[in-house]
A and B are shown apart, each in its own frame.
Chain A
Amino acid sequence: MQVERMLEFVVVGAAPAAVAIPAAEVLNVLAERDFTGTALDLRSLGSASDDASEHVLVVRSSGAPIHLRVRGGLDLLRARAAEVLALPPLVGRVAWMSHLIAPRGVPLVFVLDLARLDESHTVGCPWEAHTVEPETQQCPT
C-alpha cells in the first residue's frame, strides 16, 4: 500500500488570517526579544490573532537566511500533500502566497511564497524590512 506523503508547516496566527511556512525551511524560531538584526515585518498577517506574542522565524533561502518578524501563536500543521494546492497566479501574485492548504477541500491557510521573497530580495515586497533592536522592544510595565 502506498503511504501518502505528509507535509509539515509552521502556522503563524489564527484563521482566517493565519499564514503557513514549510517547516523544512524554518531554521530557527526566536522570541523577538532574543533577536537583533533586520527582519521582514509580517506582523500584519497575524493581526487577527488573540495571541500578540512576537517571534522571528529564520527561514532558508538561496543566500543568507531570511528573517520574518511575525505576530500570533505558532503551531505545527501536518497536511497530506494532496491537500496542499498550488495557487493560481491571479491570487498568488496579489497575496505573495504560493499554496493553499485545504484539508478535506476546505480552504484553511495560505502558504507564504518563500521562493518569491528570496528572488525579490524584498524589492516590491509588501512587507518592509525593519531593524529589530532591544530599544524597539516593549518595556515591562
Chain B
Amino acid sequence: MDAHVLPIQLEANWFFIEAHHVCEVLGVEPWLPIPRSRAGLPGVIVWRGRAVPLVDLGNLLGVAKGAAQSRPRTLIVRHARGVAALPIDAAREVRRIPGEALKPVQGGLLPYGTRELDEQGEIVTMIDLEALLSDLDRASGANGNAG
C-alpha cells in the first residue's frame, strides 16, 4: 500500500511522517517555557485558540543538538490523543511513496523509526509519531486528551 508522507528536516537529517497527521505548517510561533519541563517538552504555543504542547522531536529522536525553539518552522500535527506542535527546520511537499519502496528499518538505532526509503544512498526514515507522542503522554502521567 502506498504511503503519503511529509518530508521534514531536523538539522542535517530528513525524516518522513505520515501526512494524515499534519494539520498545518507554520513559521516561528511565540511559545512559553513550561516550568520544570523536560527536554522533550519545552513549552507551549497557542494554535486556533487552544494551548498546544511544543514537542522537541529532534531531542526525542536523539538527532538534534540545537534548541527546538530556534527552528524556523512549526508543524502542527494531530494524533490519537490531541494536537502537538513540532519545531522543524524545513518541510517539503507531501509525497506518495509506493509501499514496496519502504523497507523495514535496519539496525533500529533511531527510536520510533518504522520503515525507511533509500533515496540514491540517502536513507530517510519514517517516524511513528503516534507511538512517540503516546509515550510522551504516558511519561507525563497524563490520562486524558493530550492536546
Alpha-carbon gap, A62 to B106, bound state (A): 56
Are B38 and A85 within 8 A (Cβ)? no
Indicate whether B44 reaches chain A with its CB closer than 8 angstroms. yes
Are B36 and A108 within 8 A (Cβ)? no
- Given known A90-B147, A93-B140, A107-B31, contact A100–B37 (CB-CB < 8 A): no
- Given known A100-B46, A105-B46, A107-B46, contact A90–B36 (CB-CB < 8 A): no
Q: Which of A89, A95, A99 contacts B144 (CB 8 A)?
A: A89
Indicate whether B120 reaches chain A with its CB closer than 8 angstroms. no
Indicate whether B50 reaches chain A with its CB closer than 8 angstroms. yes
Indicate whether B53 reaches chain A with its CB closer than 8 angstroms. yes
Chain A contact surface mostly: mixed
- Given known A85-B50, A106-B30, contact A90–B35 (CB-CB < 8 A): no
Chain B interface bracket (under 10, 10 to 19, 20 to 34, 35 or more): 20 to 34
Q: Which of A16, A88, A94 contacts B51 (CB 8 A)?
A: A88
- Given known A89-B142, A107-B51, contact A126–B45 (CB-CB < 8 A): no
Inter-chain contacts of B98 with A (CB < 8 A): none
Are A89 and B32 within 8 A (Cβ)? no
Distance (Å) between the CB of B137 and the closest chain A CB? 6
Alpha-carbon gap, A89 to B32, bound state (A): 16
Distance (Å) between the CB of A105 and the closest chain B CB? 5
Distance (Å) between the CB of A93 and the closest chain B CB? 5
- Given known A45-B35, A100-B32, A107-B30, contact A91–B53 (CB-CB < 8 A): yes
Indicate whether A26 reaches chain B with its CB closer than 8 angstroms. no
B25-43 CB mask vs A (1 if < 8 Å, else 0) is 0000011111111100101
